[in-house]
Every structure is written in C-alpha cells, then in structure tokens.
Amino acid sequence: MATDIILEDGALAPAAPPQRTRLRRATANKLPSQGWVSQRILEKNGHTLTYVGLVCFTILIYSKPQDLLHFETNPNLAFLFAAITLLLYIPTQLRLEGRLSARPRELNILLAFTALALLSFPLAVSRSSAWTEFNDMFLKAVLMFIVIINVVRTEQRLKGLLYLALAIAFISGASALNNHRVGIGLLEGYRATGMLTGVLYDPNDMSLYLVMVVPIAAALAMGTKSLPLKLFYGLCILTMIGGIIVTYSRGGFLGLVGVVGVFAWKSARRQPVAVVLGLVAFIGFIVLAPGNYVGRIASITNPNLDVAGSADERKELLNLSIQTTLHHPIFGVGFGNFPNVSFREKPSHNAYTQVSSEMGVFALMVYVLFMIVPILNLKKIEKETFGVPGYERFYALAVGLQASLVGYMVSSFFLSVAYYWFLYYFVAYAVCLRRIYETGPGRVVGHVTLTPAMGAPEGIDEIPNATPDLPSTPALRIVS
C-alpha cells in the first residue's frame, strides 16, 4: 500500500528515493515524550536480577553441578533457583509493565497446550504419574518460557543466552569426543556420553541439543565480520557435529540433515558455490565417521543392520503409540502415562505420538502449531532484513533459529522429548528476537528503515512509532 507524505499546508513533500517509497504500517510523526522514553528504557533494561537467576537456572538444568562435585546430599538446586527467579520476576514485572506477561501468540498456544495437559489428568491411567511428569520438567519449562520472553528484551541479553547455549553444547560435544576416544562412559559399548549429568547425559538427548545449537553457531558466524570469531564459531560447529556423530544417534543424524538442508535452501541463490562445498564437506565428514556409523545410519531404512535390535523395538513402540491414540483420541491416556500402557514401561520414542497418545489429537495439533508459528514469524524477519546493510545479525539469527526448530522437528520424531526444555527455550528465543527486532532502535519494512518516535498511535501495539528516512521537511504527516 503506497503512503503519501503531505505537508501541513497540503503540499506534497519531496519524494523519497525510489527504494524507500513503500510502507506497510503508517504512523504519525510525533516528538518523543521524555517520560515514555524512560519507561521504554526501564522495560527493556529492568529485570537484571531476574536475568541473572535465569542464567543460573539454565546452567543448573543442563549440568547438575551437585553430581559433578559429589555432594553428600543431593539438593535440588534447579528448583531453588527457579523459585528465586520467579520471586524476583513477579514483583519486578508488575512494577515495570503492570501485567504478569506480554501475550505473544506463542504464549497463548503454550497456555492452551498446558490446559490440555491438565484436562488429561482426570482420565489418566495414573494421576500420580501424570502429576509427577507434569511437575518434574514441563511446568518449569512453561514458567521459564514466560520469564524469558519478558526478561530478554535486548540483543545483549539474547546473545548472552545464546552464548550460554553454545558453551554448554561445545562442552558436551568436546567431552563426548574425548569419552569416545578413551572409551569412558560408553553406552552399548560404543555410544559416547558427555561430562554433563543433567538432561544431556543421554546420547540421544545430547545429540538433539547439539543439532539445535549448530545453527546458532552458524548464525553467529554469519552475523559477524570478525575473522577470528568466524573461525571460533567454525571450530564450535565441527566439535558439535563430531559430538553428534560419536553418539551414533539416528535421530540426531536426520536432524542434522534437516539443519543443513535449511541453510542450503536459504543460501542457494546467494552463495551456490559455498552451498555445494558445504554439502560435499558434510558428506565427507559422514563418510569418514568412525566405526560402524554408516551402518548405524543405514539401519534407519534397513532394521536388519541394527545389531542391537532397537530399530525393531522402536517400530513396535510407534505402532503401539498410534493405536493408543486411535483408542483415546480426545484426552489420551493421561499426561506422561504412555509408559504405563506400553511394554516394559517403554516411552514412545516419538514426541508427536507421545503427545497424541497421552493428551489426544487436538493437543498434537496445538503442539505442532507451537513450532510452526515461530518459524513463520522468523521467516518474516528473514524476508524483511535480507540484503539490508546493518541488519545482518537479525537475518542470520532468524535463519539460524528456523534451522534449530526444523532440526528439533525432525529429530524429535525419534525421541520422547515433547516436555523437555529444548523446544520451549528455543521458541522463547524466537519470540525474543522478534520483540527485540520490532521494538528496537529501527525496523526494516520492505526497503524502509523505520526509526522509533515515541507516543504509539492508536492501533499500534508492539511496534513503536516510525517514519521513513526522508529529507528534512517541516511538519510531515503520513497518510495511507
């Protein structure tokens, strides 16, 4: 929709350059109110102590330092810091914004998913199992999702969490490579584990996490012009891919293929040679993998190659979880209750049928929507910032987070991780990126850089007032 810039006396303002003549959102140009400026700064930079608590909590859920330090007792430090973080968050949030949380679409979807989880309790096979599973990890993940999207309102804070995720993934990948090299802590005699004893100890779970963080490292490399940093991020990527390989996780391999596919698709038009070289390097990396890795991957399509027999077992579990869904399509067998109806209390090993069998088909639809909506929003940022100087970091992170979520969607088809931290943290990162982009110092719409002016007009919620970058003229009014 074209936008005319009109002077107060009715004359047309000087025309903007051709590439800066279209706006999708029109707002009035007002001088900023000092009070509004102060409030915006306070909202973005408040929650300092809450952010510190969030960082500490994140470290604890992935590392369990009490296990590494061999405490005589086993204090639940993660629960303690979760409680402290919430106690800091609630009064600060109410003081800053007068509400407990912003309400982006992703949060509404997550709240609907949580409500469906609670509705599955009355008909659950075991209500105690449902509550244990709900309270053990999922409830904390929901609460931390709310904290993240409200506390992480600056690029520095978002990058801080991304650097933390990268550090955890790098340590996990490096320790897995070392354990595989020296033969320590190998599951089934050949599958490497990491040094962290939290949710990343299991090779499959660690592999999934590494798959999701590889695109973040790639995005950080794309968003910087520093050669040393690019080399460092490249080293991190190689270490994490190596960690994925030595876990021998088939789901991790397919998730990594999905991640590589996203980057190849996004970069094919701009850098076709780099894409081809990258794909050749990826294939070569897989071919040179140690031991029977290729045979392990080939067992995805040919279960006879799986000497452990886990491929056949997972096929049976998939069929059983689908049958359970068909017999209990509305509310499932209860949150976290599929192992109670499975053979030998085995989980479904599939996040999608885990949700459908335990919470019903509608919950599965909500769960998938929770992943698709942030991808679509990230795609908008990608489209608006593509090729715009100064916005490379937004473009890179938008592509990287899309790849992370695609990697999760692929890998989680082979893992019962629907209630784990991984998805909720990364969707929260996507929400934070969008909010920072939309309310930051500028926003690119089409080829127009929108610069904030305070006093948001009626009908504009998240996006601050803005005007196109035009020659200086008196008393401009934007008319659509």
pLDDT digit string (tens) for 3-46? 444 444 444 444 444 333 333 333 333 334 444 444 555 555 67
Counting DSSP H helices and E strands in the chain, the numbers are 19, 5
Residue that has been written with the tokens 């914004």 in this structure: 97
Q: State phi, psi for 12 to the nearest 5 degrees.
A: -75, 140
Q: Does the pLDDT of residue 182 top 80, yes or no?
A: yes
- Least confident interval from 101-105, 123-127, 305-309, 403-407: 305-309
Tell me the pLDDT tens digit for each residue of 429-473.
Answer: 999 999 999 986 555 544 455 544 433 433 344 444 443 443 433
pLDDT interval class at 252 (50, 70, 90): very high
Measure the CA–CA gap between 145 and 158, rounded to whole angstroms: 13
What does the DSSP assignment read for 206-264? Answer: HHHHHHHHHHHHHHHHHT---HHHHHHHHHHHHHHHHHHHHHT-HHHHHHHHHHHHHHH
What rounded mean pLDDT belongs to the chain? 82
SS3 169: helix
**Residues 257-274, mean pLDDT to the nearest whole number:** 83
**pLDDT score of 400:** 96
**pLDDT score of 310:** 75
φ/ψ bin of 386: left (φ > 0), alpha (ψ from -120 to 50), beta (otherwise): beta
| Structure tokens that stand for 255 in this block | 């998730």
Q: Does the pLDDT of residue 406 top 70, yes or no?
A: yes
Q: Are 403 and 425 in contact (CB under 8 A)?
A: no
Q: Does the pLDDT of residue 326 top 90, yes or no?
A: yes
Q: Does the pLDDT of residue 324 top 80, yes or no?
A: yes
Q: Are 150 and 361 in contact (CB under 8 A)?
A: no
**pLDDT score of 471:** 40
pLDDT interval class at 228 (50, 70, 90): very high
Domain coordinates in residue numbering, the chain: 4-29+443-479, 31-100, 101-432
- Least confident interval from 193-202, 326-335, 465-474: 465-474
**pLDDT score of 296:** 84
Q: State phi, psi for 240 to the nearest 5 degrees.
A: -70, -40
3-state secondary structure 2-59: ECEEEECCCCECCCCCHHHCECCCCCCCCCCCHHHHHHHHHHHHCCHHHHHHHHHHHH
The percentage of the chain sitting over the pLDDT mark of 70, rounded to a whole number, equals 78
**pLDDT score of 271:** 72
CB atoms inside a 10 Å sphere around CB 480: 11
Measured in Å, how far apart are the chain's first and last C-alpha atoms? Answer: 7
Bridge partner list, 187: 191
Give the DSSP H/E element, type plus range, for residue 53.
Answer: helix 48-63
**pLDDT score of 444:** 53
